């Protein structure tokens, strides 16, 4: 569809990838089902009628915004696909299809020098833990030199290590150590923005008309008292207030979608794109296997940076997003970066080391040849299923994997809401997603990361304090994450069932987002206690406390005072305790990852849902690609005993949270992985 206008019917919009995502997103945010759009009467409504009907909610300009965004994307802009851009389509699926990723938040993983800040030598000292767990690829959250306004997501030097984390030599050792143990390593590439202390930004504001002025989004002010006038548009920062900061020295406004020290780069400038590609090549030459690309779907902004639609802003919380969540040149910038930065050129020297291959039994083989294309994992907040497919389809030459965040909150909820997450939504989300993906698509499976409270706590609330429920649910989530089709990303602590913290004061918090929000609430008149209570359900701090290696106040993280203290100190939920307990969450992860490696059906096999309408039972088959056996996976999504559906295939339990028997009922959050018995 090239031409969208007011007379277009809703079904045509819904047939367009971005239109469908946008409508699904609005419905999700309103807590409504998308079945509504498929109703023939509704589907035949014209866009201008919908806009009129929805006026109280969305306003008429909404339709216009949709029309503008739709025109940028979709099948029409399909590239001429390279037949096999990264070796896909070959007999072997790319390595990451079968891999288990593990995200390390280096500041809170392990501190080697007692300054209370996790560091690279700390990570290296714990590589055996990751290798034993069965991890195939380690993702390190930011480690580059940074003033840490947003904990490294504000880079000052893309080719230097943050002083408190170590040196380039420490990173070289970490890379070699990971490769030697059969694990690849990817870093965080934060290039939607740089720190305001980056030399490019300093040069830009020293001379806005000079060569660096166009590296950022700088705009002159309006005549007035200080020459600033109102900000150039109504876009909001994700961390509070306007997305514009007045720089008196330069007499310019500068765009920052995040903190005031995170300056958005102007990707329309080819020199910016060339710099980024060069950074990627530089790190690949050191042996890095790829990157996770921070808020990468925000890099292309609509020309002229127009005001955001107020209704969309109100609904989604941030005016302006429709102009950059999936901007007009996003696809082409990603393709260019893939070719110019991530793809090995002929004759490129081999990196100092490559990963040792792992055999299905887990033992190590020889070092693999360098990957033809380093992996690109996109952090893509706000994209729906169709946009995810456009960005990560293997024939499109853009990203390899993307994160779709819609799984993290229940319908109509946002991160700050205090509610109990219902796992039947999680089931619905994945069944809906999996029904829409084809063999060219890939999805990342994740529940926890450094930007979210722990999934265990979202589901259990205060009952996360019950060690039995906590253990059972942690195993159930692991089962879902490690055996659904997709590439799992574990976040540090998930393997020991980490939960949220009982923070008691704002002094416990470190995150710029939490602190800004707290200040805003206080300024609006909330008491301290109230403001804290409204922040804690969504605070990113929960996931950023030190890893619990051992019992005791230091948790084996540091001999010094941690930069941020954890408050959760339950017995039995440290790595040391769990390693010694055969029934622990940690050992369950190990066993399951081992099984996954040994049984190709669990990664490459077909997928068939069972009892798909049940809200309490989540069961599915992974069917063998070759002559191997099929697998039956079952999870009780509730904290109650449930009955199994009838007419399930006969199967032999191989791994389960409660025992090796399958009966007519399932215990609270019970999970079972069984080999389907051959024969009728």
What is the size of the binding site for ligand GLC (CB under 6 A)?
9
Site string for ligand GLC, 222-261 (x = CB under 6 A): ------------------------------------x---
* Beta carbon nearer to ligand GLC, 70 or 321: 321
* Beta carbon nearer to Mg ion, 48 or 113: 113
Which residue in 30, 23, 26 sits closest to 45, CA to CA?
23
- Angle between helical axes of 330-337 and 270-285 (0-180°, round to 10): 40
Tell me: does residue 119 bind ligand GLC (CB under 6 A).
no
**Are residues 678 and 631 in contact, defined by beta-carbon separation less than 8 angstroms?**
no
572 sits in the region (left: phi over 0; alpha: psi -120 to 50; else beta) called: left
| Binding site partner of 294, from Mg ion, ligand GLC, none, Cβ cut-off 5-8 A by kind | ligand GLC
Tell me: does residue 588 bind ligand GLC (CB under 6 A).
no
- Smallest distance, Mg ion to C-beta of residue 562, A: 10
The SS3 call for residue 653 is: strand
Q: Which residues bind Mg ion (CB under 5 A)?
A: 111, 113, 115, 117, 119
**Are residues 96 and 487 in contact, defined by beta-carbon separation less than 8 angstroms?**
yes
* Beta carbon nearer to Mg ion, 152 or 538: 152
Q: What is the 3-state secondary structure (H, E, C) of 236-270?
A: ECCCCCECEEEECCCCEEEECCCCCCEEEECCCCH
- Smallest distance, ligand GLC to C-beta of residue 510, A: 12
* In the complex, residue closest to Mg ion by CB: 119
Tell me: does residue 140 bind ligand GLC (CB under 6 A).
no
| Binding site partner of 451, from ligand GLC, Mg ion, none, Cβ cut-off 5-8 A by kind | ligand GLC
* Beta carbon nearer to ligand GLC, 371 or 379: 379
Residues 6+ apart with CB under 8 A from 332: none
* Beta carbon nearer to ligand GLC, 294 or 568: 294
- Angle between helical axes of 330-337 and 385-392 (0-180°, round to 10): 30
Select from 451, 577, 599, 670 the one that contacts ligand GLC (CB under 6 A). 451
- Smallest distance, ligand GLC to C-beta of residue 480, A: 23
Query: Which DSSP string do the residues of 597-661 spell out, in sequence order?
Result: HH-THHHHSEEEEESTT-SSEEEEEEE-SSSS--EEEEEE-SSS-EEPPSSPPPEEEEEESS-S-
**DSSP class of residue 538?**
T
**Are residues 297 and 325 in contact, defined by beta-carbon separation less than 8 angstroms?**
yes
- Smallest distance, ligand GLC to C-beta of residue 357, A: 31
Site string for ligand GLC, 276-315 (x = CB under 6 A): ------------------xx--------------------
* In the complex, residue closest to ligand GLC by CB: 153
* Beta carbon nearer to ligand GLC, 262 or 457: 262
Which residue is catalytic, options 119, 264, 322, 379? Answer: 379
Select from 24, 111, 149, 150 the one that contacts ligand GLC (CB under 6 A). 150
Which tokens sit at 507? 């002094």
Phi then psi dihedrals of residue 317, to 5 deg: 90, -15
Tell me: does residue 153 bind ligand GLC (CB under 6 A).
yes
Residues 348-407 that bind ligand GLC (CB under 6 A): 379
Catalytic residue list contains 440: no
- Smallest distance, Mg ion to C-beta of residue 117, A: 4
Strands (E), 124-168: 137-140, 144-145, 157-161
CA–CA gap between residue 51 and residue 497 (Å, rounded)? 46
* Beta carbon nearer to ligand GLC, 262 or 483: 262
Tell me: does residue 448 bind ligand GLC (CB under 6 A).
no
CA–CA gap between residue 576 and residue 164 (Å, rounded)? 26
Site string for ligand GLC, 163-192 (x = CB under 6 A): ---------------------------x--
CA–CA gap between residue 208 and residue 200 (Å, rounded)? 11
Catalytic residue list contains 294: yes
- Smallest distance, ligand GLC to C-beta of residue 512, A: 8
- Smallest distance, ligand GLC to C-beta of residue 262, A: 6
Alpha helix positions (H), 30-98: 35-38, 40-43, 47-53, 55-58, 61-70
* Beta carbon nearer to ligand GLC, 105 or 429: 105
Residues 6+ apart with CB under 8 A from 128: 181
The SS3 call for residue 676 is: strand
CA–CA gap between residue 127 and residue 108 (Å, rounded)? 15
* Beta carbon nearer to Mg ion, 108 or 578: 108
- Strand duo 631-636 + 617-623: pairing: antiparallel
Site string for ligand GLC, 255-274 (x = CB under 6 A): ---x----------------
Strands (E), 295-421: 356-358, 364-367, 375-379, 401-403
- Smallest distance, ligand GLC to C-beta of residue 405, A: 9
- Smallest distance, Mg ion to C-beta of residue 143, A: 12
How many angstroms separate the first and last alpha carbons of the chain? 48
Which residue is catalytic, options 145, 150, 294, 541? Answer: 294
* Enzyme catalytic residues: 294, 379
**Footprint of ligand GLC (CB under 6 A):** 150, 153, 190, 258, 294-295, 379, 450-451
């Amino acid at each position: 569809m090239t031409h969208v206008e007011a007379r277009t019917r809703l079904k045509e919009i819904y047939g367009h990838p971005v239109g469908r995502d946008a409508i699904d997103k609005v419905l999700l945010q309103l807590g409504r089902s998308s079945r509504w759009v498929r109703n023939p009467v509704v589907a035949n409504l014209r866009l201008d009628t919908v806009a009129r009907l929805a006026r109280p909610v969305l306003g008429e300009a909404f339709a216009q915004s949709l029309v503008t965004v739709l025109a940028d994307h979709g099948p029409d802009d399909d590239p001429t696909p390279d037949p096999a851009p990264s070796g896909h389509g070959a007999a072997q699926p790319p390595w990451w299809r079968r891999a288990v990723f593990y995200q390390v938040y280096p500041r809170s993983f392990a501190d080697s020098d007692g300054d209370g800040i996790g560091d690279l030598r700390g990570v290296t000292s714990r590589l055996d833990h990751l290798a034993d767990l069965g991890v195939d690829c380690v993702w390190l959250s930011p480690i580059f030199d940074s003033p840490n306004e947003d904990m490294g997501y504000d880079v000052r030097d893309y080719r230097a290590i943050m002083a408190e984390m170590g040196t380039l030599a420490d990173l070289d050792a970490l890379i070699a150590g990971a490769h030697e143990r059969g694990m690849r390593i990817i870093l965080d590439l934060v290039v939607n923005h740089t720190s305001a202390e980056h030399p490019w930004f300093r040069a830009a504001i020293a001379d806005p008309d000079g060569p660096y002025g166009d590296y950022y989004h700088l705009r002159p002010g309006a005549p007035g008292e200080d020459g600033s006038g109102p900000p150039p548009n109504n876009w909001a920062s994700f961390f509070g207030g306007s997305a514009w900061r007045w720089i008196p020295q330069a007499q310019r406004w500068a765009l920052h979608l995040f903190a005031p020290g995170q300056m958005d780069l102007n990707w329309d400038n080819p020199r910016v794109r060339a710099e980024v590609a060069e950074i990627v090549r530089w790190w690949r030459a050191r042996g890095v296997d790829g990157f996770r690309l921070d808020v990468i779907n925000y890099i292309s902004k609509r020309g002229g940076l127009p005001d955001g639609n107020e209704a969309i802003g109100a609904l989604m919380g941030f005016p302006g997003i429709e102009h950059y969540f999936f901007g007009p040149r996003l696809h082409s910038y990603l393709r260019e970066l893939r070719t110019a930065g991530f793809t090995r050129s002929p004759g490129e020297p081999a990196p100092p080391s490559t990963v040792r291959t792992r055999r299905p039994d887990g033992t190590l083989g020889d070092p693999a040849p360098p990957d033809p294309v380093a992996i690109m994992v996109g952090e893509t907040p706000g994209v729906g299923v169709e946009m995810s497919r456009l960005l990560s389809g293997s024939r499109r030459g853009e990203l390899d994997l993307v994160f779709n965040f819609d799984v993290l909150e229940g319908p109509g909820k946002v991160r700050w809401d205090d509610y109990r997450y219902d796992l039947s939504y999680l089931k619905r989300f994945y069944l809906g997603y999996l029904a829409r993906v084809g063999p060219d698509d890939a999805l990342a499976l994740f529940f926890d990361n450094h930007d979210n409270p722990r999934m265990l706590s979202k589901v259990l609330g205060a009952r996360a304090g019950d060690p039995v429920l906590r253990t059972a649910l942690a195993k159930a989530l692991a089962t879902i994450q490690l055996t659904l089709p997709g590439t799992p990303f574990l976040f540090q602590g998930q393997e020991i069932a980490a939960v949220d913290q009982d923070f008691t004061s704002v002094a416990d918090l470190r995150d710029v987002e939490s602190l800004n929000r707290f200040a805003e609430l206080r300024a609006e008149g909330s008491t301290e206690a109230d403001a804290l209570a409204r922040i804690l359900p969504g605070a990113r701090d929960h996931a950023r406390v030190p890893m619990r290696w051992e019992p005791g106040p230091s948790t084996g993280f540091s001999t010094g005072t941690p930069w941020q203290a954890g408050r959760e100190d339950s017995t039995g939920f440290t790595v040391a305790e769990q390693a010694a307990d055969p029934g622990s969450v940690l050992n369950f992860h190990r066993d399951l990852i081992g099984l996954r490696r040994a049984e190709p059906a669990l990664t490459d096999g077909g997928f068939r849902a069972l009892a798909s309408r049940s809200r309490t039972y989540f069961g599915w088959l992974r069917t063998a690609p070759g002559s191997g056996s099929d697998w039956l996976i079952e999870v009780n999504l509730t904290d109650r005993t449930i009955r199994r559906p009838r007419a399930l295939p006969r199967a032999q339990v191989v791994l389960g949270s409660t025992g090796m028997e399958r009966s007519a009922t399932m215990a609270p959050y019970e999970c079972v992985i069984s080999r389907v018995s051959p024969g009728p």
